[in-house]
Each structure stands twice: as C-alpha cells, then as structure tokens.
Amino acid sequence: MKKLKAPIQWVEQFKIIFFIFFSAITNAVALNNFFIPANVYASGITGVAQLMSDAMRDFLQFKVEVGILILLFNIPIAIIGWIKIGRRFTLYSFISSLLISVFMLILPVKALTPDPIMNALFGGVIAGLGIGFALKYGFSTGGMDIISMVLAKTTGKTIGTLMMAINVMIVIIAGFLYGWEYAFYTLLSIYVVTKVIDAIHTSHQKITAMIVTQDPQAIVSSIHSKLIRGITVIPAKGAFSQTDRSVLMTVITRYEMYDLEQAVREADAAAFVNFMQTTKVLGEFWNSDQQKKWKKQDNHV
C-alpha cells in the first residue's frame, strides 16, 4: 500500500496543477472574450471588480484593469483564509486567482460574438467549467468561495444571503449603467454558471457521505488524518454476496469532499461511497476552532 501511495499522490498533484491552470485560463477567457466586451457581469468578487473598473473608467476617466482589481481584492481574502482555513486550500486558490489576473492581462479583450445572449450563455458555461473543476479538486478561484469556507468552518453557517445580496447589487448597478437588458444578460450568465458548477461539483453546503467498506478502521483512520469529523459505524451485510461489511456515515461541508474522497481512496480503493444532500444538521457540527481544540487535546493524550 505504501508503495502505491506515492504514485497516486503524484498523479493527484499533477491533476491539481493542471486544473489550477485550466480554471485560470477558462475564467480569463470567459471574462475577456465574453463578459467584459458585452457588458455582462460575473457573480461575486469578480463582478464587483468589473463594476469598479467600469465605474472608474466612465466617471473618473481612470482605467484600472479588471484583472488587477481581482488580484487586489483576493490578497486580503487570501490572508484571512490562510489564518482561518489552512494553507493548502488558500494557497491553491490564491495561485488560481493570481493566474486569472495574469491571463487576463495577457489575453486581448475581444468579443467573439456581437450577440449579448450568446456571450452570457457561453461565457457562463466556460466560467462554470473553471469554477466547478476547481471546487471538485479541492480549491477555488478565490473571492467569495474563500469567504464562504471561512464562515462555514468558523461558524458552521453559509453565506447564501450575502452572495444573493452581492449578485442583486451587481445586477441592479449593471442595469443602471448600461440598461436593464444587460442586467438580464447578467442574471442569465450567473444562472448558467451556477448550473454548470452544480453539474460538475455540488451546490449543497453540507453533504452526508455513506461509505460501504470491508476495512472500516483503515478508512476511519485515513479520514481523521485529513478531517476532524464524527463518523458513525453501522454493521451491514451485502445482499447478494452475504459478505459482512460496515457502513460509515459522516456529514461534511462541500469544501471537504475532495479530502474525504482522497482519504477513502488511499485506505480502500474498493469502497463504495455515496454523497447525499444534507438539508439541516441538528447537534454538534464542529467548526475549525473546535477541530483545532480537539487536535490539541488529542496530541496531549
């Protein structure tokens, strides 16, 4: 098993590096070739950066590139993420946002179609691909995803209301600046991005994982080496084979899916894993501070 872990880890690292560049290029293309030329706005921090760039150009006669504003916004967000949620996710996410800014400065801002609806649709699909695969492989493109993870890990709550408020603000300001038809195009692009992300990753903030395995202790140890989550072990038996098995049940956040998948794969490649939407959790669902406290106590035992 130990001999196999090193090649698997190298393959996973290569995938992560590939998708960091993939997400950066796709987001830069979506912005420079679809959204920006058509006055269609992205969601979250990127959309705010677009609005600020346009407002400074139109009202202050001072042009600041969208890519530079995206980077400036992500620096303080990355610092908060580094402190609150750990280095791996934050580092990969910041590198991704940095590369988005670099590619946006390199690639020309040029419309590939004059049709704003086509720009909203295809820009949304391309941006959604980049963001979706980033989340699937355990990082993000920066901005609101890091803020969302900070809140999820420190308070256990989500930022759905905040995200909605920011996106509504983007849509309204876009309507005032360029006409309400562009506000509708922006709504369309945000909807498409969300649907593509849902198809690749998940929109659910909390997820229940059901793991069927013949080696429960190995998987429990592997998961606890990466995540501090409670796991319930349920005795089970295969209906067809009549083989004794165990079902492990745990609730995680959407940002912990990648780490859990890797932990299960490393411990038991034959394990069956089913992820399900979790609407509400009653009882203890530890935030990052509680996890750190438990780790310290465990290390002193």
Query: Same domain, yes or no, for 180 and 285?
Result: no
DSSP 3-state of 263: helix
Give, as one character, the DSSP assignment of residue 107.
S
Number of domains in the chain: 2
**Structural tokens at position 92:** 């990969």
Is the domain of 33 the same as that of 102? yes
Identify whether residues 61 and 154 lie together within a single domain: yes
Q: Are 229 and 256 in contact (CB under 8 A)?
A: yes
| 272-277 and 244-253 strand pairing | unpaired
Question: What does the pLDDT read at residue 292?
Answer: 57
Say what the pLDDT of residue 257 is: 86
What does the alpha-carbon distance between residue 40 and residue 42 come to, in Å, rounded to a whole number? 7
Residues 195, 290, single domain; the answer is: no
Q: Would you tell me how many other CB atoms lie within 10 Å of the CB of residue 84?
A: 18
The pLDDT, as a whole number, for residue 301 is 47
Report d(CA 140, CA 45) in Å as an integer: 13
Question: What whole-number distance in Å separates Cα of residue 69 and Cα of residue 65?
Answer: 7
Three-state DSSP class for residue 256: helix
Phi-psi label, residue 60: left if phi above 0, alpha if psi -120 to 50, beta otherwise? alpha
Out of 200, 219, 250, a domain closes at 200
Same domain? For 117 and 25 the reply is yes
Q: Identify the pLDDT of residue 161.
A: 62
Range of the domain at 75: 2-200
Residues 257 and 175 in one domain: no
Q: What is the pLDDT of residue 49?
A: 94
- Angstrom distances, CA of residue 248 to CA of 34, 130, 220: 45, 32, 8
Contact 127, 57 (CB under 8 A): no
Task: Report how far residue 187's alpha carbon sits from residue 168's, in angstroms, rounded to the nearest whole number.
Answer: 9
Q: Which of 200, 234, 259 is the last residue of a domain?
A: 200
Considering only CA atoms, which of 233, 232, 228 is closest in space to residue 285? 228
Largest CA distance in the chain: 74
Residuewise pLDDT in 10s, the chain (301 residues): 444 455 557 777 888 899 999 999 999 999 999 999 999 999 889 999 999 999 899 888 888 999 999 999 999 999 988 887 778 888 999 999 999 999 999 999 999 999 999 999 999 999 999 998 998 888 888 888 788 777 766 665 555 566 777 788 888 988 888 888 989 999 999 999 988 988 887 655 688 999 999 999 999 999 988 887 889 999 998 888 888 999 999 998 777 888 899 899 989 989 999 999 887 777 666 555 555 555 565 554 4
Of 156, 182, 200, which residue sits at a domain end? Answer: 200
The answer to whether 294 touches 286, Cβ cutoff 8 Å, is yes
Tokens of 138: 């355990």
Residues 181 and 257 in one domain: no
pTM, full prediction: 0.73
Query: Residues 135, 142: contact at Cβ < 8 Å?
Result: no
CB 153 within 8 A of CB 85: yes
Same structural domain for residues 119 and 222?
Answer: no
Q: Distance (Å, rounded) from C-alpha 181 to C-alpha 28?
A: 24
pLDDT at 1: 47
Whether residues 50 and 131 share a domain: the answer is yes
How many residues comprise the chain? 301
Asked if 126 and 274 sit in the same domain, the reply is no
What CATH number is attached to the domain comprising 223? Answer: 3.30.70.120
Residues 58 and 112 in one domain: yes
- Asked if 45 and 149 sit in the same domain, the reply is yes
Phi first, then psi: give them for residue 108, nearest 5 degrees. Answer: -70, 145
Q: How many CB atoms lie within 10 A of CB 122?
A: 19
pLDDT confidence of residue 126: 97
Q: Which residue is associated with the tokens 């049709």? A: 115
What is residue 110's DSSP assignment?
-
pLDDT of residue 163: 73
